[in-house]
Structure 1
Amino acid sequence: MDKPAEKSDKPVEQWEDFMEALRSLQSMFGLPTTGALDRDTLEIMRQPRCGVEDTVNHKILKFSILGRWRRKHLTYRILNYTPDMTRSEVGKAIQTAFKYWSDVTPLTFQAIKSGRADITIRFARGSHGDNVRFDGPGRTLAHAFTPEDGRAHFDEDETWTEGTNRGTNLRLVAAHEIGHVLGLGHSKIDSALMAPLYPGYNPFFKLHSDDIKGIQALYGKREADSESIIVVPPNITTSVAPNFTTSMPPTSGKPDPCMADLDAFILSSSQKGYAFKGDYVWIVSDYYGAGNPIKINRLWKELPGNLDAAVHSQYTGRTYFFKGDKMWRYRNFVLQKGFPKSVTLYDLPPNPEAAFQWKGNRQIFIFKGDGYWQWNENRWNDLSSYPKKIRNLFTRAPSNLDAAITWKNGKIYLFRGDQYWRVNNQLIAETGYPKSKSKVWMQCL
């Protein structure tokens, strides 16, 4: 009898490599590092992003460093132009992208029309000679090479724009890729420019403190009296985007995190905070405020905007959204069969104002005006004795709430206007509150 062939370990090794890559991706975006291809991980993988590999030093830094130029005056050249924009518009977008970095460092950038440049800008499709193929519209938008290579490539299959929510914003994608060209890797901070996912159009963009710390770790700070001059070819305008403040009303229709009251606020199973306003949602972290808003229906398909309230159950993995007399129930961003349903089926009030789940008894509390309802999501509830007065539930807490949430630290947070209160496990609002939501949660100046 012949000896059976020995089983190859290669498939096992490949599977382990695949799971390790998934864990790295999940760690990058603050998801549970399970190594499983779950819905949250797939949702991240589907979003438009930069094509540069994620190489964050997860143990030490929020940003990573890939290299450094040995000089501080660099030239750049636009090798070709996208037909989606005029040459002047492309030149202005690229110029402004460089200016974000020169404003906070001693670096200066000079545009040239011919000859060898330190940094080259190119639009290309599919395979384009650098062994990093573009994949058509969406997914990978651009990629760049580290110092002192200097190449930055943009997928021509994207629709490049400026000044509109349509298409893909060239200015911000270029600023991100220039960060790579200057030596920065990807950041773990969602709202940083160097985060790997495309944030969407933002006319009020400013570098995140994590971006500034990273670039200044490489090149130092800009001296107060120095100027970062960009010499521009004659056919490119020298005007740059105005330096808007966060208090100006956005012209794009997106809500301003520093001005807007909340519609709802939830903490997902992946421990990400989602703050809702109108048709948009922000991802909110403990220390770095709100990222750029994205459309709600990009994450929760079929969910309308202008919500009344929302709550995520950490025990069942379900997320409940309330608007008018309807309730939507999702699991992992997927609408569950039979929803939306009328809240009257659950004896809950229409148009609730806030909701949260209390770890003390796993019950969901729903608020409207000065009253509340206590609801068990897993069984039929006799709610005939509700509403009860909020003042009988909380001590020193407000009524007429905008939103409520149980955060990662187990504390309950109540929001009304720009004020928020922190409630301890004894359901007592702590001293020193209310505080400013925009300053603390949204990190507005």
Structure 2
Amino acid sequence: MLLLPLLGALSLSVYATQSDPSSEEETLRYLQQFGYLQKPLESDSEDFSPEEVQEALRVFQLASQLPGTGVLDDITLEKMRQPRCGLEDPFNQKTLRYLLLGRWRKKNLTYRIYNSTPDMTSAAVRTAIQSAFKYWSDVTPLAFRETINGRADIRISFHQRGISCSRPFDGPGKVLAHADIPEEGAVHFDEDELWTEGSYLGVNLRIIAAHELGHALGLGHSRYSTSLMAPVYTGYKPNFRLHDDDVKGIQALYGKNIQTEEEEKIVTTHVPTSSPEPTPNSPIPNPCNDSLDAIILGPYGKTFAFKGDYMWTVTDFGISPLTRIQALWKGLPGNLDAAVHSQRTKRTYFFKGEKVWRYRDFKLEYGYPKLLTRVLQNIDAALYWEGNQKIFLFKGEGYWQWDEYGWSNLSPNPKKISSLFTGIPPHLDAALTWKNGKVYFFKGDKYWRVNKQLRVERGYPLSKAERWMQCRHFD
């Protein structure tokens, strides 16, 4: 391999030039193993040129949402060491969306679980696998049936390192599982991992199984880091759903599940989805460019974002069409200062100027709006904090805590935000506690997430437009 000449030719960072050769060898192995470095069939050379390695490294970085420098650094190595799927990534082919690797010629498929893992009961393993199949059957006409005898279409098993697997696993971490493309049907899990369900510990079997079944059904890896078919495992998510890229990819192979779509229309009739009509006095906001007036995890567990006279819902698939606020919350004005939904009382509070509106679901409660008498008017943001079941109100550099069921000291002089939340800027646009229990703060196009110690987590702030509104486009 062209290893040492490569380092000089690429003008790598101080870290890279001083790193031990094992890190450089590890990088080259990774780029080859996962398809970033591939020799043309007509080439007799076993070496890669410095330019080839730099380009492969750059493509990996871009696919991993890292700066595409082509330079080996700490962050790039850390990304390469994250647990992931054993199949290759197609990003060196400049794939912009889902990649299709094949398809089954039938829509009724059988599967068989040949062995289990001692980390979970057999019943828990079966339930996790069934749930993994359901992600795909919910959005396609595919049907899956378990069999306990004979050869099935999709064959599921657990393997220890170097035992009875044509592509041996590498021990804990690193490669978690791999699968064959249609119509071969093998799906293998690394038994050296700690397989779990309903826990942030170990590796979630349901999510990894759904990913590998995506391969077994014909999907390649996705460049969207929040997609199920992204190559890197990002951890347990209690409310996990397929990404729009996953859905479009599998439906390109097998079509849509018409029955599920009709049921979804019925479930979502609570939230109007008709496009708003523009008016001269109320410009339609652009969720990708405009800041937020407010954002809540509101009724029916939906995430509602507000700007001007309009609102929209934020989902794992992106955002819904914009609609007028008053189409959902009758009597509520636009250009809100803040909003918060209490998980404790199931009431939603909206703030504007010196007034507060309170709704139960989408119905304004008797006696509202009321005047704000104990806090300053024109607050910036509000959130419900699960930690103490109180509502936090923010204005400028300060905040108040309010207990809906008890007396609260809401003096004209709020406490400093910096005295409680480390790293959060003043003069916020919006805030909320989301489904994962994490607290998020928004200002402009940036958002911050805090940990249990109420400090901003490493890597933040990030782009609201890219991560929440999913406005990022690959060129």
Q: Give a deviation string over 1:373-428, Cα, whole Å, max 9, x none.
A: xxxxxxxxxxxxxxxxxxxxxxxxxxx999569xxxxxxx95332596649xxxxx
Aligned to 1:442: 468
Q: Which residue does 2:429 correspond to in 1?
A: 415
> Once structures 1 and 2 are overlaid, which stretch shifts more, 204-213 or 130-139?
130-139
In the alignment, the residues of structure 1 paired with residue 172 and residue 228 of structure 2 have an alpha-carbon distance, to the nearest angstrom, of 21
Q: Which residue of 2 aligns with 1:173?
A: 208
C-alpha offsets along residues 177-236 of structure 1, whole Å, 9 cap, x if unaligned? 000101111111111111111121112111111110111111110122799xxxxxxxxx
What is aligned with 1:78?
A: 113
Q: Matches of residues 42-441 of structure 1 in structure 2 within 5 Å?
A: 42-56=77-91, 59=94, 61-224=96-259, 247=297, 258=303, 370=396, 403=424, 415-417=429-431, 422=444
Q: 1:20 to 1:59 in 2, by over 3 A?
A: closer
Amino acid at match of 1:27: L
Query: What do residues 286-332 of structure 1 show as CA deviations (whole Å, max 9, x unaligned)?
Result: x969xxxxxxxxxxxxxxxxxxxxxxxxxxxxxxxxxxxxxxxxxxx
Q: 2:73 aligns with which of 22, 38, 46?
A: 38
Q: Which amino acid aligns with 1:200?
A: G
Cα deviation, residue 31, structure 1: 2.0
* 1:54/1:164 CA distance change after superposition, 3 Å: same
CA shift for structure 1 position 443 = 4.3
Cα gap change, 1:36 to 1:257, in 2 (>3 Å) = farther
Q: CA deviation at 1:258?
A: 4.6
Question: 1:89 offset after TM fit, Å?
Answer: 0.4
Deviations 1:46-74 (A, max 9, x none): 11111111114864532211111111111
* Matched residue SS, 2:258: coil
Measure how far apart 1:369 and its partner are: 6.3
Q: Find the counterpart in structure 1 of residue 20 from structure 2.
A: none
Paired residues of 1:24 and 1:33 also in contact (CA < 8 A): yes
Amino acid at match of 1:195: A
Residue range with higher mean Cα deviation, 172-181 or 31-40: 31-40
What is the RMSD of the two structures over their aligned residues, measured on CA atoms?
Answer: 4.2
Find the partner of 2:60 among 25, 50, 59. Answer: 25
Structure 2: which amino acid aligns with 1:178? L
Contact map agreement 2:56 2:92 (CA 8 A) in 1 = no
Distance, in Å, in 2 between the alignment partners of 1:150 and 1:160 is 21
Q: Distance in 2 between matches of 1:161 and 1:193?
A: 18
Q: Is the 8 A contact 2:59 2:92 kept in 1?
A: no
Q: Distance in 2 between matches of 1:415 and 1:196?
A: 34
Report the equivalent of 1:433. Answer: none
Counterpart CA distance in 2 for 1:47 and 1:440 is 22
Structure 2 distance, partners of 1:226, 1:39, is 45
User: Do the aligned partners of 2:158 and 2:190 also contact (CA within 8 Å) in 1?
Assistant: yes
Instruction: State the TM-score, normalizing by the size of structure 1.
Output: 0.52
CA distance in 2: counterparts of 1:188 and 1:404, whole angstroms = 31
* Secondary structure, counterpart of 1:34 in structure 2: coil
Rounded Cα–Cα distance in structure 2 between residues aligned with 1:80 and 1:56: 34
- Indicate how the Cα distance of structure 1 residues 107 and 167 shifts in structure 2: closer, same or farther if over 3 A, else same: same
Post-superposition CA distance 1:7-26 (Å, at most 9, x none):
xx957636554434323321
Cα pair 2:86 2:178 within 8 Å, conserved: yes
1:404 touches 1:415 (CA, 8 Å); kept in 2?
Answer: no
Q: Could you tell me which amino acid in structure 2 is paired with residue 442 of structure 1?
A: W
Count of residue pairs the alignment pairs up: 265
How many angstroms apart in 1 are the aligned matches of 2:226 and 2:91?
A: 15
The whole-number CA distance in structure 2 between the counterparts of 1:183 and 1:62 is 14
- Letter paired with 1:169: N
Structure possessing the higher relative contact order (Cα contacts under 8 Å, 6 or more residues apart): 1
Label 1:371 to 1:171 Cα distance change in 2 as closer, same or farther (>3 A): closer
SS at match of 1:32: coil
Whether the 8 Å CA contact 2:159–2:165 is kept in 1: the answer is: no
**Once the two structures are aligned, what percentage of the paired residues are identical?**
50
Q: What is the rounded CA distance, in whole Å, between the counterparts of 2:80 and 2:260 in structure 1?
A: 44
> Given that residues 50 and 196 in structure 1 are in contact (C-alpha distance below 8 angstroms), is that contact kept between their aligned partners in structure 2?
yes
Report if aligned partners of 1:401, 1:415 keep a CA contact under 8 Å in 2. Answer: no
Contact kept in structure 2, 1:401 and 1:416, CA below 8 Å: no
Q: Report the Cα distance in structure 1 between the residues aligned to 2:76 and 2:82, rounded to whole angstroms.
A: 10
For structure 1, the residue ranges without an aligned partner over 5 or more in a row are 1-8, 228-245, 250-255, 261-286, 290-352, 354-367, 373-399, 406-412, 424-436
Cα distance change on mapping 1:11 and 1:226 into 2, 3 Å: closer
